[in-house]
Amino acid sequence: MHIRILLVFVILGAFMASSDTRAVAGPVKAAPAPATGGLLDGTPEERRACFSDVRRHCREAMPDTFRILSCLKDHRDKISKPCLAVLESHGQ
């Protein structure tokens, strides 16, 4: 369960890095995910639920998914209800 939520934040971090307005030498490539039969794939809805919260409260933690998760948990009282629901649904 923890691995799935971490993957959500890895994907979210890669998306945020690629959407940065600064010039980038080339496209950002995420490391390939281990073959797990899809168990680690965060849904688009889960990524959208936490996108603004990560950007607002935990940008400095990127791209370290453990730090992002810790940051979101530290800011639990400030994050949106949809993102909180994603954390809770994964036992966080």
Q: What is the mean pLDDT of residues 32-55?
A: 66
Instruction: Write the single-letter amino acid at 35.
Output: A
What pLDDT is stored for residue 39 in this prediction? 26
If phi > 0 it is left, if psi is from -120 to 50 it is alpha, else beta; for residue 35 that is: beta
Name the token pair of 21. 């307005």
Residue 50: strand, helix, or coil: helix
Of residues 52 and 32, which shows the higher confidence score? Answer: 52
Q: Do residues 2 and 90 touch, judged by C-beta distance below 8 A?
A: yes
Instruction: Write the single-letter amino acid at 22.
Output: R
What pLDDT is stored for residue 12 in this prediction? 62
What pLDDT is stored for residue 33 in this prediction? 40
Q: How many CA within 13 A on the CB side of residue 79?
A: 26
